[in-house]
Structure 1
Amino acid sequence: MRKNLILLFLFALFSFPAFAGHWALRHVSSGEYLYSKEGQLALAAEFCLTDPSFSWLLEPQADGSLRIQSGDCAKYLASTGNGSMSSVAEDWTVTSTADQLYRTLKGKEGTLKAYGTDLWRIEPVAAPVDLKGRGAKITWTEYQAEHGDFQGVLIGPSTELQDPASEAVGRMGVKLEQTGDRVSWIAEADADGLELRYSIPDAPKGGGMDATLSLYINDEKSECLALTSRHAWIYGEGHSASRFWTDDPNNGTPRKHFDTQRFRLKQPILAGDIVELRRENTDDAAFYMIDMIELEKIPAIGERPEGFLSITDFGAVANDGKDDSEALSQSLSQAADMGAAGVWVPAGIFDFFPKEPIPEDVPGNPDQTLYQRFPLSDIHLKGAGAWHSELRGNGIAFQCGTRWQVSDLAIDWQGESRRSAMLFFGRTGQDSGFSNLYITRCGLVLSIYDPDSRNFTVRNSRIRSTFAGGINLRGGHRNALIENVHTRGTGDDALIFWSTKSEKSERPTRDSVIRNCTC
């Protein structure tokens, strides 16, 4: 029996300025909220309930009020401290029968919109939180689709497993289904870089598909954005399933609906410009679910530090689509032999192909030793900036030792399922870490036991759209620091200290800090 249940209706604006612990009533079939005649969100509910998916029936009464009945057990709408049922506000009256208990809400400020005996669901409404001084210090501006001006279908909010809206930031987004559907925002600052979090359909047999979406600036077409679903849409049941999550639709429940793509814009955006994503007749995906965009000013290209060897000195060529594995391997080896300060990755995209494909039938998480790995020990691998230097492809991953650093570049592993690699594998040793990285589409970034780990640091980095976790420091780390890291769309944990002991480390993780991060 659910006890101590309080149901109290409060007025709120449609823009959802809610209060901590509050809930809203949503019509299950239409997705609409309960509105007043002015079109504002009329009701939100505050109550103590262990099951947030509890359902209710709303019944209009002859006097214009609404009677609300529990759709699950038809009981326990309110309770006083002694367990007897009573109303909690003057606007409520209680009507009960032998097996049902009702509460009637007298109309406030106009006629409330109702749907007879349709099923409604009580859902959480986020409370405003003062975030000043909290989280990562970001260099971009976020624009949520549901807060923009749009013509399309508002999706969410939802916490249902198979509902794509449940994976969106804020559990909401906008779906562009028809030619001419659009979503737009007014730019708050100058920008020439755009990051889009979106979902387009999978191919019928899995493996993803490609499509375009048109970008307009001030109602003039700027360019077509090339999108893909090849790095989203994985399928499967729980961790105990015989086949773990794969990109085969026959494997079970769909997951990971959204992917993130970055674009260096052909036309810069100025503060005050109208930035619009519009579906045209040449944009031929069945739908486009837009979660959000980020706009930012791309930093200047960094310069090659003194004493660094360049991978281009060993045959790597940027943007040629050819494998640069041998060039990176030779440059790291030569730098270690010479005692060089590090290895430089200049501006451009450098591609890495695997030596051997990972078997398709590998159950669960694949053996990380199967992947091609480049050694990192007593070395600094540095790029010209995360918007400028990129290591791309499922042939890039690292076998880590001690005193290694990786900084100022992007790593896009291009993974398509849970079989994707862990980028940093092995050890952290002493005084290792990475900074100013943009990491996406890998299995996970790092998950390491190391009883000798000291002073490991991760700073000023972004992690996007991984198939498993982000950074997982398992047993043995001491004085580790994760600072100013922003994560979004990790399949498992984002940032975690796992202070366990095991056969891999008799020491737990201790004296470590996660500071000013956003997950």
Structure 2
Amino acid sequence: MFKNINQFTIALATASVVVVGVAGSANASPSAPANPAVTRAALDPALVAGRGASVSFLEQEAEKAATNGTVIGPDRTAYTLPAEASGRSAVKLLPGQYVEFTLPQAANAITVRYSLPDAPNGGGITAPLDVSVNGKNRKTMTLTSQFAWLYNQYPFANDPNADLLHPDWWVTECACVPAFTTPAPVFAKPFRPTHFYDEQRLLLGKTYKAGDRVRLTAPAGSNAAWTVIDLLDSELVGLPYVNLVAANVLLFGADPTGQRESSDAIDRAIAFAKRWHLEVYIPPGTYQVNRHIVVDNVTVKGAGNWYTIIKGKQVTLPAPLPDKSIHTGVGFYGKYVADGGSSNVHLSGFTIEGDVRERIDDDQVNGIGGAMSDSTIDGLYIHHTKVGLWFDGPMNNVKVTNSIIADQIGDGLNFHGGVTNSLVANNFVRNTGDDGLAMWAQPVTNSNNTFDHNTVQTPVLANGIALYGGSDLTVSSNLVADPIREGSGLHVGSRFGAEPFGGTILLKDNTTVRAGTFELNWNIGLGAIWLYALDRNIDANTQVVGNHFLDNTYNAIMLVSDWPVKDLVSISNVHFKDVRVDGTGTSVVSARVAGSASFENVDARNVGAVGINNCGSFNWPATGSEFSLTDLGGNDGGGTTGPWFGSWQLPNTITCNDRPPIVVPPAPSPW
């Protein structure tokens, strides 16, 4: 299209750039009134100071706002609307009802986290939500449940009327394998409904001041029987980023209205930018992209993730690909390692809006994928893809920062197979269908990676942050809240064929809240931190230092193996130091494995059951439990049964209660 760089520059200078601006400065921060209840992970922000992501928005829980609707919860029972809400509580609106938030600071944009009913046969519905400020300037959002509502057994179904996907699997509801049970059990449908919530963003069109009232109303004529509002995030979005000396995708035929496909135009802009050593610039607009954009040795910048939207439809492929994908969709992918991998990729300032409504593990429909060494991803908003960012190594030195990953069917981010010397920092992850952040060392080990100062909220399945094998890994200063089922806040697991743990595994200065979920397969509660030996021993130097475990549904700390391997594997060389435990439904420590751990300056309060529930490997040897706890001093506090680590507690005393009763702890408070 352009024969030289001068011709390109002249054309760019005269091209019209679509700018969808809003009034206000991103630096303005008037004093907020005292009454709005601002929280972080539904907690007083002072309780989690210095931990988790520093974000541009302020969170307000609906149950703390003014409403004529009904507060639901708190409730942590799986398959219920309150259980999947932030803080395990929300507000249910019938048509004509409202919830009203008072802005704590100036804002021109909001994010609403909500739930709508599913359609009777699945597939979701749409329904309106009216937004007004101070009773004026009404806008209408069109909410949807088309990306929510999964059912049944893994990998789940979209059909609420489906029979069991795996009738030969153990099912705790009947404590049986249905296919081998006579008579066969009858299960209520829908079976195990989950993944109820979604979120939607809205630019308000002007800047409102602190103290202004944002009212969300389910209109009287709404077709939704109910609308649940979980929370409101409000923020002051600055003006769009503009780059006049860049490969502007508009000049290569991209359509900012989203009516025409822009994939080829973006490819042309990338090729031109690489040739002339320019950045690629994607101005404000919505761009339809229905396949992967392959990136290598290029910088792609949007105008900001509120302004530049890369949005795609899921496309059914005419035949499965070699990787078994049967769909494709919007995503920015590095080249796979088999094709040489990518490097020097820099992506920032845009949204990736996918169209993934079912979990198909083989599909490559992730927001970011492939291999990207010496690369950065910054300031993205990734929504409705399968996994936000799934990296397949080996690859080295990638940094993922300042991004938001929301409403995924699978993980938020996964370092898979040989990712080294990489950093994930200051990201916000909410409502994933699997682990929020994960490192999976399979089939090649991961090493020297760090997850630092991230916030992970409401992962519906599995863990907030999970490590599956690898060497010299750090998980530091993160905030993890409200995992829903079959997982923990923090997880260290030798499973899924992962390579062994090695070097030092450091989990430092993290906070979990309302963590430790119910494990369906075992019919027991897990810990806020969960170490699980399945494929092999866990014996690397594991340091758990400075962590705070708040309002634990069951145990704060769990170390466990599975019954078939209980005499084959162990967990050892684990060291807990300077830990605070504020509230447990059951114990501080639950040991269901052979091995050992040391404890130093672990302070606990509001402990619901015996401080140490030591079952070992369930062999009950006369010599005591196969798991030993070493008291290095300073282990203070306890609960209803006395000191959690009392002087009576010998190193391997058996104190086993397989399923202790749960005592609901009080809300966390300043230490």
Q: Normalising by structure 2, what TM-score?
A: 0.52
Shift of 1:266: 3.5
User: Which amino acid is the alignment partner of residue 249 of structure 2?
Assistant: I
Does the CA-based 8 Å contact 1:177-1:288 persist in structure 2? yes
- Where does residue 522 of structure 2 map in the other structure? none
2:84 matched to which residue of 1?
Answer: 167
CA distance in 2, matches of 1:282, 1:340: 55
Q: Give, in angstroms, the shift of residue 501 of structure 1.
A: 4.2
**Most deviating of 211-220 and 433-442:** 211-220
Residue deviations 1:190-236, cap 9 Å, x none?
A: 11111000011112222221111112222336222221111111223
Instruction: Choose which of 399, 417, 424 in structure 1 pairs with 2:358.
Output: 417
User: Which of 160, 175, 180 is residue 249 of structure 1 equivalent to?
Assistant: 160
Aligned to 2:333: 399
> Using a 3 Å threshold, how does the CA distance of structure 1 residues 327 and 136 change in structure 2: closer, same or farther?
same
Describe how 1:128-167 pairs up with structure 2 within 5 A. 130-167=47-84
CA contact (8 A) 1:459 1:485 kept: yes
The residue number in structure 2 matching 1:192 is 108
Q: Say yes or no: does 1:222 pair with 2:133.
A: no
Work out whether residues 375 and 399 of structure 1, in 8 Å CA contact, stay in contact via their aligned partners in 2.
yes
Q: 1:134 Cα deviation (Å)?
A: 1.2
Letter in 1 for 2:411: G
| Distance in 2 between residues matched to 1:334 and 1:128, nearest whole Å | 47
Deviates more, 1:159-168 or 1:317-326: 317-326
1:437 aligns with 2:380: yes
Change (3 A) 1:126 1:341: closer
Task: Report the CA distance shift for 1:164/1:518 in structure 2 as closer, same or farther (over 3 A).
Answer: same
**Structural mapping, 1:44-59, within 5 Å:** none
Judged with a 3 Å threshold, the aligned counterparts in structure 2 of structure 1 residues 280 and 398 are, in CA distance, closer, same or farther, namely closer
Gaps of 5+ in 1: 1-124, 354-371
The amino acid that maps onto 1:250 is N
Following superposition, the deviation at residue 174 of structure 1 comes to: 0.3
The aligned length equals 363
Counterpart mapping for 1:301-312 below 5 A: 301-304=240-243, 306=245, 308-312=246-250
Per-residue deviation, residues 450-478 of structure 1 (Å, max 9, x unmatched): 13x22210111111111101111123222
Q: Which residue of 1 aligns with 2:419?
A: 477
Aligned with 1:332: secondary structure?
Answer: helix
Distance 2:44 2:212 in 1: 30
Equivalent residue of 2:270, what SS?
A: helix
Q: How many angstroms apart in 2 are the aligned matches of 1:178 and 1:432?
A: 48
Cα drift, residue 396 of structure 1: 1.4
Q: Is the 8 A contact 2:387 2:410 kept in 1?
A: yes
Q: Distance in 1 between matches of 2:81 and 2:233?
A: 20
Conserved? CA contact 2:102–2:212, under 8 Å: yes
Instruction: Report the equivalent of 2:295.
Output: 376
The 8 Å contact of residues 214 and 221 in structure 1, kept in 2 or not, is answered as: no
Per-residue Cα deviation, 1:272-320 (whole angstroms, up to 9, x for no partner): 11111122313331100000011111111101163x2121111112124
Q: RMSD of the alignment, in Å?
A: 2.1
Counterparts of 2:140 and 2:127, CA distance in 1? 10
Equivalent in the alignment of 1:511: 448
Structure 1 residue 513 displacement after superposition: 1.4
Change in 2 beyond 3 A, CA 1:171/1:154: same
1:492 corresponds to 2:492: no
Distance of 2:375 and 2:423 partners within structure 1: 11
Please report how far the alpha carbon of residue 414 of structure 1 lies from its aligned counterpart in structure 2 after TM superposition.
2.6
Structure 1 SS opposite 2:52: coil
Residue 127 (structure 1) shift: 9.6
Q: Decide which of 236, 251, 256 is 1:297's aligned counterpart.
A: 236
Could you tell me how far 1:334 is from its partner in structure 2?
3.3
Q: Distance in 1 between matches of 2:45 and 2:347?
A: 37
User: Which amino acid in structure 2 is aligned with residue 168 of structure 1?
Assistant: A
Alpha-carbon shift at residue 341 of structure 1 (Å)? 2.5
> 1:94 — aligned with what?
none
Confirm or deny: 8 A CA contact 1:234 1:256 kept in the other structure: yes
SS at match of 2:161: helix
SS at match of 1:335: helix
Pick the aligned partner of 2:122 from 183, 200, 206: 206
Counterpart residue number, 1:177: 94
Name the CA distance, whole Å, in 2 between partners of 1:378 and 1:474: 21
Uncovered stretches (5+) of structure 2, i.e. residues with no partner = 1-41, 163-190, 314-328, 335-341, 457-671
| Maintained 8 Å contact 2:95/2:221 | no
Q: Does 1:449 align with 2:392?
A: yes
Structure 1 residue 177, shift from structure 2 partner: 1.6
Distance 2:45 2:269 in 1: 51
Q: Secondary structure at the match of 2:402?
A: strand
Tell whether the 8 Å contact from 2:331 to 2:352 is kept in structure 1 after alignment.
Answer: no
Seen in structure 2, the aligned counterparts of structure 1 residues 318 and 146 have a Cα distance that, compared at 3 Å, is same
